[in-house]
Amino acid sequence: MLSTDLTSLPWSSEISVGHPALDGLNKDVFDLLAVIESTVHRDDAESIVGQFSQLFSTLSHALDVEEKLLGACDYPELECHITIHDQVRSYVHAWKRSLGAGHNHAHLIRTARRIHAEVTSWLIQHIQGVDALYRPYMVTHSPLTAI
């Protein structure tokens, strides 16, 4: 969570969590990270706050849907998974505060770079580390449609 590199990775099937709706939501998050990366490279501070707002809404929706699907298939580690999601929900509150703190242009761009790196790092580590644990369970137990 400390890197300030601004690199968006495309979603790929290698990080599939085993459910098409969740993969689609994760892909949406990666796509929005790529949009923000482009915005920062253009030095377009005016668009950044709105794009992060959209990113956080999409991420929050993805977490909610994932929890509902895990609950629907009686995933035994659901409570632990929700606790981990709650950690990033607290990060989202902090990220929103940072973005809304009335920065000047240069500070906002620096803040955007930092938050982009932190979201990207959290997302990749979470999908590859924690979400990967439920993938075999999701493949065999989940409903096919999103809840």
Nearer to Fe ion, 118 or 131 (CB): 131
Pick between residue 88 and residue 109 the one whose CB is nearest to Fe ion.
88
Q: How far is the CB of 10 from Fe ion (least distance, A)?
A: 19
Buried b (16+ CB within 10 A) or exposed e, 49-58: bebbeebbeb
Residues between 69 and 108 that touch Fe ion (CB under 5 A)? none
Task: Provide Rg for the chain, Cα atoms.
Answer: 16
Least separation, in Å, of the C-beta of 66 and Fe ion? 5
Sign of CA dihedral 57, 60, 62, 68: negative
Residues near 12 by Cβ (< 8 Å), separated by ≥ 6? none
Size of the site for Fe ion (CB under 5 A): 1
Interaction residues for Fe ion, span 13-72 (CB under 5 A):
none
Nearest to 48 by CA among 7, 5, 109: 109
- State which residue, 49 or 65, has the beta carbon closest to Fe ion: 65
SS3 assignment, position 18: coil
* Alpha carbons 11 and 28: distance in angstroms, whole number: 9
Give the shortest CB-93-to-Fe ion separation in angstroms: 18
CB of 50 to Fe ion, least distance (A): 25
The nearest distance, CB 63 to Fe ion, in angstroms, is 6
- The nearer residue to Fe ion, 103 or 135, going by C-beta atoms, is 135
Comparing CB distances to Fe ion, the nearer of 108 and 127 is 127
Residues from 103 through 142 that contact Fe ion (CB under 5 A): 131
By the 8 A CB rule, do 9 and 124 touch?
yes
| Residue numbers at the binding site for Fe ion (CB under 5 A) | 131
